Structure 1
Amino acid sequence: MKKKIIYPILSTCLLLSLAACSSKTADVPKEEKAPEKVQEEKQTTEVQPAHWSYEGETGPEYWGDLDPTNAVCTNGQEQSPINIETAKTEKDDEVEELKFNYAPTNFSLANNGHTIQGNPAAIDNSIVVDGEEYKLAQFHFHTPSEHQFNGQNFDMELHLVHKSASNELAVIGLMIKEGAANSVLEQSWKALPKEVTTNDVKVTEAIDLMGLLPENKQTFRYEGSLTTPPCSEEVEWIVLEQPIEMSKEQIDLFRQIFEDNHRPVQPLNDREVEVEPSV
């Protein structure tokens, strides 16, 4: 009789004990992850931009297929660069005069794997286009030139990228041909980073961009795009007709780093290219 009484009691106690343990287990809060661990996981799940280049299966012909954000590279109707046929340009006397507000400025150089980019230490340079001010954000180089004049490329091209207070872009395009050594860029060329950089390389002397501009500042203007992915449109392009010069040694030094980093010309479609007088 004792055994029959004891076993149910023990069984009941065991069930109550397991229920209590289960209740305690359910009340245990989930382990919180350290903030740095959460940040690390976020970084690993972020979508990285698709790799692009200037040749092969990741070259300009395929930019639009590499990433959905690059679709306009293929489907856009106002893409850059273009071939400027000087005989087919339109003269517009009603636009406001283009104004350059450049002063000697300290720059640092970065090699981003696609070009050499100059980053200003201060926002001291600007242009005024149709009454709106655009601040210089950076400059960079391409070889050969991306824009053509009457079907011909120049040895190189310099792009001065400007941004307005409303984040609109205006880019000055300067053609570069082989000739005399360019003294304005001399110190920059001594500091050209040959490998991809994680930290910018400082240029020892200030760069006087005003001294870099050609004497004749006649320009061609049109509505275009970025010439690299994602090829965003609604970019105001201002291409100067008169080229500046760099020596063969300077051009060759850049080409040792980037043998060819230009996008081919794009269809003009229904756009007009306007010629502006010299300023």
Structure 2
Amino acid sequence: MKKGVSFLFATAIVSSVVMADHHAIHWGYSGHGGPEQWGQLSDDYKMCMIGKNQSPIDIRTDTAYKTELPAIRFDYHTATEDVVDNGHTEQVDIEAGSGITIDGITFELKQFHFHTPSENRIDGRSFPLEAHFVHADAHGNLAVVAVMFQYGKANPILAKIWSKMPKHAGRKHHLSMTADDVKHLLPKNRAYYRFNGSLTTPPCSEGVRWLILKHPVTVSKAQVREFANIMGDANNRPVQPLNARIILK
């Protein structure tokens, strides 16, 4: 976690705009402002402590409920705008007009960002990097598509993003990437796990549709190291209890 950062960032903030809150609460991923303390930092963050449907989780495939999940319809056809360092992650903002359709509802793609190591796990396995594609419908309901990265060849799309990553919180750089570039961050096979969860950052609001793509894409160790060095530390929330939730596969 970067020291001295006072930007209030919600992973799936609908406007996808990084905001500096004059009354921002300092939170991070370690120390007094770490995940175990989030629920005590502000009344607005209480859900981080008392919520029963919190994210991330460890997806146990042997107990997940097998069903015929409908395909996610991806309709990504707009370019990127900026890559922003908000003190907690590197966030890529997207021009309006792209989205997904799930449950017969259209969710517009607002932004995507990264966590190292991964926040969600699959059968106990942690991945070196995870991307969250954050979508919102017309009523502000959220759907997050998560992509896991495993070590392998350097990822050419990440290379484009990494080349523009700001190195200081609150800074942003223009990023010229096409819709095809964005789509190529996704695996070709887009089968997924599904569960109901929350934002993985304060205020930890619940009611988020989580769609975890089953098949990872590659990232090099050098690329993960570069991202981690800019963040200054890990930026992942620990897995949360599943409680009574059902995971669909």
Please give the range of the TM-score, normalised by the shorter of the 2 chains: 0.7 to 0.9
Provide, for residues 235-266 of structure 1, a one-character-per-residue CA deviation record: whole Å limited to 9, x for no partner.
Answer: 00000111111112211110101220000000
**Residue of 187, 192, 209 corresponding to 1:236:** 209
Q: Match of 1:15? A: none
Q: Is the Cα contact below 8 Å between 1:64 and 1:71 reproduced in 2? A: yes
Q: Which residue of 1 aligns with 2:16?
A: none
Following the alignment from structure 1 to structure 2, what is the Cα–Cα distance between the partners of residues 86 and 209?
A: 28
Which residue of structure 1 lines up, in the alignment, with residue 241 of structure 2? 267
Matched-pair contact (CA < 8 Å) for 2:78–2:96 = no
Hey, what does 2:133 align to over in structure 1?
160
Percent identity among equivalent residues? 40
Native 8 Å contact 1:105 1:124 kept in 2: no
Q: Does 1:108 align with 2:103?
A: no
Q: Letter of the 1:151 partner, please give it.
A: G
8 Å CA contact 1:96, 1:131 repeated in 2: no
- Residue in 2 that maps onto 1:24: none
Q: State the partner residue of 1:202.
A: 174
The residue number in structure 1 matching 2:54 is: 79
**Larger CA deviation: 55-64 vs 101-110:** 101-110
Amino acid at match of 2:38: W
Aligned pairs, how many? 227
Which amino acid counterpart does residue 195 of structure 1 have in structure 2?
H
More divergent stretch after superposition (140-149 vs 102-111)? 102-111
Give yes or no for contact 1:115–1:142 (8 Å, CA) kept in 2: yes
* Structure 1 counterpart of 2:111: 138
1:225 Cα deviation from its structure 2 partner:
0.0
Structure 2, unmatched stretches of 5+, are: 1-20
* Aligned partner letter, 1:169: L
* Larger relative contact order, structure 1 or 2 (CA cutoff 8 Å, min sep 6): 2
What is the CA distance between 1:205 and its match in structure 2? 3.6
Superposition RMSD in Å: 1.4
Measured in 2, the distance between the counterparts of 1:62 and 1:114 equals 16
Question: Which structure shows the bigger proportion of residues in helix conformation?
Answer: 1
Q: Distance in 2 between matches of 1:170 and 1:83?
A: 18
Q: In 2, Cα distance between the equivalents of 1:133 and 1:204?
A: 25
**Residues in 2 aligned to 1:163 and 1:140: alpha-carbon distance in whole angstroms:** 15
Give the deviation of 1:218 after TM superposition.
Answer: 1.1
| Larger of the two Rg values belongs to structure | 1
Counterpart in 2 of 1:90? 65
- Structure 1 residue 142: Cα displacement: 0.3
Give the letter for the 1:249 counterpart. Answer: A
Relative to the length of structure 1, the TM-score reads 0.78
d(CA) in 1 for partners of 2:242 and 2:177?
A: 40
Q: How do residues 177-216 of structure 1 correspond to structure 2 at under 5 angstroms? A: 177-198=150-171, 200-206=172-178, 208-216=181-189
